Amino acid sequence: MAMTSSSSISVGIDDAGRLHDDLAWLGWREVERDGAIVLAPPTGAGPREVGEDLRTLISHDMASPVRALTLIASLIEAKGADVDSALLATVPGEAERVMLVTRRFSEFMKLLLRVPRFVERPLADVVAAAVRARRDRDVEVDVAEGLTTRLDEVLVESAVSELLDNARLHAPGGHRVTARAEADGVVLEVADAGPGIPAEYREAMLRAGRRLCHDDVPGCGLGLAVCAHVAACHGGRVEISAGADGAGCTVRMRLANGGAA
């Protein structure tokens, strides 16, 4: 059957509720077009790309410290006290890395598996919940009380929390959260005065597992991927830029109303 982007088909569905949830989970959204509700495909990375990124995360980032710890244990067994002390000093860091990747992978999967539930909510409440949860005292929030949109509260709060964590990690001097309404939804921004992300890496940093920092900086490259997933669930996208003066980092999350772009 040949179909174009504007095709419509009528099919009998055995379990419409389940199909709706499965499509929502895959990032498909209900969109009103010409007075009819149609299904629109996901924005951003599709499930196959996200799955491939996560496979890479496990096969490299999880396996790497486990392999190192296994080899260090074998060296201790073979050489006893002759093992290089600098190598032994890496053991706690490698063990922590296993725990970190496990925890972050689990958190990310929980969000990926969530079927979005959209409700009309004040954005200020969602941002305030994230700030409270992170006990963030270095943040300046400028979100109008009356600014509401249809969103999935759990997903958007998680994305804001990730952005607060990133800002606190890379720019301890303070950061700012703002939001505004635009024609096709709302725009939520978190801006900091940290080192920023070079333009050539901004797109890649939205993929799961991509990082700019070395292993001595905590993280495994999932924070911005969470934001990209949440924005895509809402029919939007994430943009990364430098601040107005060319320094720092501004992450802009566009959320279409009720996910209906």
Partner 1 sequence: MSTPPRILLVEDSEADAHLARSAFALADIACEIDVVRDGEEALAYLTRDSLHGDAPRPALVLMDLRLPGCTGLEALVEIKASEELRAIPVVMLSTSGDPHDAAACYGARANAYIAKPHDLDGLVAMARSIHTLWLSAAGDI
Binding site for partner 1 (CB under 8 A): 56, 59-61, 63-65, 67-72, 74-75, 78, 84, 86-87, 90-91, 93-94, 198, 201, 211-216
To partner 1, the closest distance from the beta carbon of 109 in angstroms equals: 19
DSSP string, 31-63: EEETTEEEEEPPSSS-HHHHHHHHHHIIIIIIH
To partner 1, the closest distance from the beta carbon of 52 in angstroms equals: 9
Say which amino acid occupies 230.
Answer: V
CB environment 45-77: b (16+ within 10 A), e (fewer): beeeebeebbeebeeebbeebeebbeebeeeee
CA 197/CA 160 separation, integer angstroms: 18
Beta pairing partners, 188: 179, 253
To partner 1, the closest distance from the beta carbon of 225 in angstroms equals: 15
Shorter beta-carbon distance to partner 1: residue 41 or 195:
195
CA 121/CA 125 separation, integer angstroms: 8
Shorter beta-carbon distance to partner 1: residue 33 or 55:
55
To partner 1, the closest distance from the beta carbon of 152 in angstroms equals: 31
Shorter beta-carbon distance to partner 1: residue 31 or 62:
62
Shorter beta-carbon distance to partner 1: residue 128 or 212:
212
**What is the C-alpha R_g of the chain?**
21
To partner 1, the closest distance from the beta carbon of 88 in angstroms equals: 9
Shorter beta-carbon distance to partner 1: residue 41 or 198:
198
